[in-house]
Structure 1
């Protein structure tokens, strides 16, 4: 009830920390009017008549959309009801509520305390980026936690489809693919790939891949990414964009063979590793790991989801890095010291 109360207050307020929701409104609106968001550049004068007062507020109007097909179809579905920021935020709010329900089901089915749901419901990042800013990452997190819960229950086909839908919102969970090795059938994987490919069909037919400005985004944008920036300074090559995915994939391989399928860390750490080394780390990207923080070993990630909000503070870049990543390193060091002390105590007892 408390979580719902402050979300409603945010829902009724205009977005103040990000203008991405206005891009969502634009993408949904022009699809409804028969245009392809992967081709149309919002700032072009010949589409000026398609704008509303809200869509003129979007950021980076000189680029077509970078979002994958599932996100685009989601925007279109919302726009069919109402092409407004309030409608997009309401849709994110509903995804948020559905995610809470699925988490409760997963916690109950895995014989964990259902009170762990508060690690998600009371996380300020989720409320701000969902009901507050209407980010589509809530839809992706919903698909991903549903994927994990279904795989835990042995529903392989549905889990593969859920994973395909999560990738179709944003490509961020791609490194989690090793978690499905040996746990789903080949036909399940083929079905998931086929459904994702089919969702791109409405955007084909123009002689180019429907990726929009995604490539330019990966090459140009550098925000809140100290690790990637340092690597790029030492190794100035475009090939670095593959490093975060490769490292996330490697962590997923380790978790596949060392952690149980219902372990939330198995899902959280590969995504978090990818983000840690990514060229751009906006706070709302961390929404993807927030459903999996119901374990003490995920404490550093829980701290990061809160400290990442420092990006919104009017601080110098160096101070933002200290405020955001300092607590994460501190908690990680404390946990490592506690673990080392416990190991030494065990050895001395033996």
Structure 2
């Protein structure tokens, strides 16, 4: 009877989470009100996870999968709410479908005027009525952000944009990318369930499947990060037993979004023989190089696009800009922040590589990625999709605070200032330390042979 109540409570909280997300994404309010609603969704998410711990084992996978479908498809209820990146994706796909390199022309280039339509490039009336559009030199406007700079997306991402453009019905606008993101998000859930049924607890899959970041960032905003997450999870799932295959998959992840390069130390956890290291690194580098090659041959300019300018714009080369290095700036002079990041990340990467668990490469990958987030304090919430998937693999739920911190920095930063990132990431750092201390304390207090609770928390008999 108690477990039946737990199942009912988990389902009820999951339904409430789904409804809250639908209201949040379907409404008109942004800024502080959106952030408050988003935080409420995270509270419901936490409650559903707690209830799931008591659900009977035979009901876990069906409930996780059903909840994944319900939560994920909510992202389809509205056009992108908090990001315009998917408009660039759609444009890059359209440019490639026309036989052109996406790296050669900026969206504002008059040479591509024949590819413009009223959705991405509204007419004069649309420019006057709609806020937040980027102006063009000819007096027009566009929904694409930074229309005067070249694209920065790697080749697998560009291939995804072309595929979606090819298979989407004419006039589908943002729905093609959002629907594709639903497929990718559910594929990640399915892969997590398969991996965790064999090498963990399938309850952990809910840490991704029910997380509010998935319908908001992966689906509604259609961020290509979810494609990189799929390849990253697949890579970490197989790399300990099939190194070459794991290296190939990791190369695909890096070629979808450069961020998964930070997973390499985790993928090499405990691998000390040079030949074994090379069997992962060489395939990954080869895949990235081969995938870039067609674009290098097709393009007249650099395939790196605006990548360097983007790093400068975001303040990664200047600790005094924006909210980057927010925590480091509390204890170090601004000029020391970048060297400190390089030093700490090198030490963490070497420690994970040398002492990591080769059977659980995602543990080292989570520690490396989470540390990078704490040091860099990125101001974009969708970057944390990779972190959420790693938390699901490892079960160390305390790192999820970084995903919510990124949302606070992104949504509140423009009005509150850098202090929003400092406070949010500071709270997340405290949560990580508290969770690690609690886990260590309970592990020491638990006699050998005691049952292990879901999400990596142990308890006494």
Q: TM-score range by the shorter chain?
A: 0.7 to 0.9
Task: Please tell me whether the aligned partners of residues 248 and 271 of structure 1 are also in contact (alpha carbons under 8 angstroms).
Answer: no
Matched, 1:219 2:312: yes
2:214 corresponds to which residue? 126
2:160 aligned residue (67, 74, 80) = 74
Per-residue deviation, residues 51-88 of structure 1 (Å, max 9, x unmatched): 23333311111111011111111111111112732111
What is the CA–CA distance in structure 2 between the aligned matches of 1:64 and 1:197, rounded to whole Å?
Answer: 20
Counterpart position of 1:192: 284
CA pair 6-323 structure 1, distance change in 2 beyond 3 A: farther
Contact 1:290 1:305 in 2 (8 A): yes
* Deviation digits for residues 5-37 of structure 1 (CA, Å, limit 9, x no counterpart): 232222131001100000000111101111211
Per-residue deviation, residues 115-167 of structure 1 (Å, max 9, x unmatched): 11111111111221111110000001111010000114x12221111000011
Return the match for 2:180 from 91, 94, 117: 91
Q: Aligned in 2, Cα 1:41/1:126: closer, same or farther, shift over 3 Å?
A: same
Which residue does the alignment assign to 1:325?
A: 425
Match of 2:388 in 1: 290
Aligned mates of 1:143, 1:204 — CA distance in 2: 23
Given the superposition, is the C-alpha separation of residues 339 and 177 from structure 1 closer, same or farther in structure 2, using an over 3 Å criterion? closer
Aligned residue number for residue 98 of structure 2: 33
Max Rg structure: 2
Counterparts of 1:244 and 1:69, CA distance in 2: 28
Q: CA deviation at 1:295?
A: 7.2
Deviates more, 1:190-199 or 1:9-18: 190-199
- Measured in 1, the distance between the counterparts of 2:440 and 2:219 equals 41
Asked if 1:312 corresponds to 2:411, the answer is yes
- Which residue does the alignment assign to 1:270? 368
Any stretches of 5+ residues in structure 2 without a counterpart?
A: 1-65, 121-141, 316-321, 447-461
Distance 1:172 1:245 in 2: 16
SS in 2 for 1:227: coil
Distance 2:161 2:342 in 1: 26
Deviation at 1:299? 3.1
Change in Cα spacing, 1:51 to 1:262, as seen in structure 2 (3 Å) is farther
From the superposition, tell whether residues 246 and 217 of structure 1 become closer, same or farther in structure 2 (CA, over 3 Å).
farther
Distance 1:38 1:79 in 2: 17
Secondary structure of the 2:289 match is: helix
What TM-score does the superposition give when structure 1 sets the normalisation length? 0.86
Distance in 2 (CA, whole Å) between partners of 1:109 and 1:340 is 25
Q: Residues 13-32 of structure 1: matches in 2 within 5 Å?
A: 13-32=78-97
Does structure 2 retain, via aligned residues, the 8 Å contact 1:160–1:189?
Answer: yes
1:72 and 1:341, CA in 2 relative to 1: closer, same or farther beyond 3 A? closer
CA separation of 1:288 and 1:333: change in aligned 2, threshold 3 A: closer
Q: CA deviation at 1:249?
A: 4.5
Q: With CA pairs under 8 Å and 6+ residues apart, which has the higher RCO, 1 or 2? A: 1
Which whole-Å CA distance do the structure 1 matches of 2:282 and 2:444 have between them? 48
**Partner Cα separation in structure 1 for residue 440 and residue 248 of structure 2:** 41
Of 45, 61, 73, which residue of structure 1 is paired with 2:110?
45
Contact 2:192–2:393 at 8 Å: present in 1 too?
no
Gaps in structure 1 of 5+ consecutive residues: none
CA contact (8 A) 1:7 1:132 kept: no
What is the DSSP-based 3-state SS (H/G/I as helix, E as strand, rest coil) of the residue aligned with 1:41? coil
Q: Which whole-Å CA distance do the structure 1 matches of 2:363 and 2:280 have between them?
A: 24
TM-aligned CA distance change 1:265 to 1:224, over 3 Å: farther
1:263-314, Cα deviation, whole Å (9 max, x unpaired): 3321112122223333743110011111121478733311221233223247
Q: Could you tell me which of 169, 174, 193 is aligned with 2:261?
A: 174
Q: How many residues align?
A: 341
Whole-Å separation in 1 of the counterparts to 2:351 and 2:291: 31
104, 122, 128: which one pairs with 2:193?
104
Cα distance change on mapping 1:19 and 1:233 into 2, 3 Å: farther
Q: CA deviation at 1:340?
A: 7.8
CA distance in 1, matches of 2:152, 2:69: 31
Q: 199-208 or 17-26, which moves further after superposition?
A: 199-208
